[in-house]
A and B are shown apart, each in its own frame.
Chain A
Amino acid sequence: MHENLLTIAQQTVAAGSNADSALPEALRISGVALVAIFIVMGLFGAMIALLSHVFPETVDESV
Chain B
Amino acid sequence: MDQLLQGILSLTPGQGIMFAIGGLLIWLAISKEYEPTLLLPIGLSAILANIPHSAAIGVDGEPGILTTLFDAGIRTEVFPLLIFVAIGAMIDFGPLLQNPKMLLFGAAAQFGIFFTMCLAAALHFTLKEAASIGIIGAADGPTSIVVANRFAPHLLGPITVAAYSYMSLVPIIQPPVIRLLTTKAERRIRMDSSQFRPVSQRTKIIFPIAVSLVAGLLVPSAAALIGMLMFGNLLRESGVVDRLSIGAQNELANIVTLLLGISIGAVMTADEFLDRRTLLILGMGIIAFVFDTAGGVLFAKFLNLFLKHKINPMIGACGISAFPMSGRVIYKMGLAEDPQNHLLMQAISCNVGGQLGSVVAGGLILALVS
Residues of chain A touching chain B, judged by Cβ–Cβ distance below 8 Å, are: 19-20, 22-23, 25-27, 29-30, 32-34, 36-38, 40-45, 47-49, 51-52, 55-58, 61-63
Q: Which residues of A contact B365 (CB under 8 A)?
A: 29, 33
* A56 and B215 alpha carbons, distance in the complex (Å): 24
The interface residues of chain A, by DSSP majority, are classed as helix
Closest approach, in angstroms, between the C-beta of B306 and any C-beta of chain A?
A: 16
The answer to whether A37 and B121 touch across the interface, beta carbons within 8 angstroms, is no
CB closest residue in chain B, given A44 = B103
* A38 and B110 alpha carbons, distance in the complex (Å): 10
The answer to the question of B218 belonging to the interface, with a C-beta cut-off of 8 Å to chain A, is yes
Closest approach, in angstroms, between the C-beta of B196 and any C-beta of chain A?
A: 11
The answer to whether B125 and A48 touch across the interface, beta carbons within 8 angstroms, is no
Q: Which residues of B contact A62 (CB under 8 A)?
A: 198, 200
The answer to whether B356 and A44 touch across the interface, beta carbons within 8 angstroms, is yes
The interface residues of chain B, by DSSP majority, are classed as helix
Known contacts: A29-B369, A55-B202. The answer to whether A22 contacts B110 by CB under 8 A is no
Residue in A20, A41, A42, A56 whose beta carbon sits within 8 Å of that of B200 in the complex: A56
The answer to the question of B261 belonging to the interface, with a C-beta cut-off of 8 Å to chain A, is no
The answer to the question of B37 belonging to the interface, with a C-beta cut-off of 8 Å to chain A, is no
The answer to whether A23 and B122 touch across the interface, beta carbons within 8 angstroms, is yes
* A25 and B125 alpha carbons, distance in the complex (Å): 12
Contact code string B181-207 (vs A, CB < 8 Å = 1, else 0): 000000000000000011111111011
* A42 and B124 alpha carbons, distance in the complex (Å): 34
The answer to whether A61 and B201 touch across the interface, beta carbons within 8 angstroms, is yes
The answer to the question of B117 belonging to the interface, with a C-beta cut-off of 8 Å to chain A, is yes
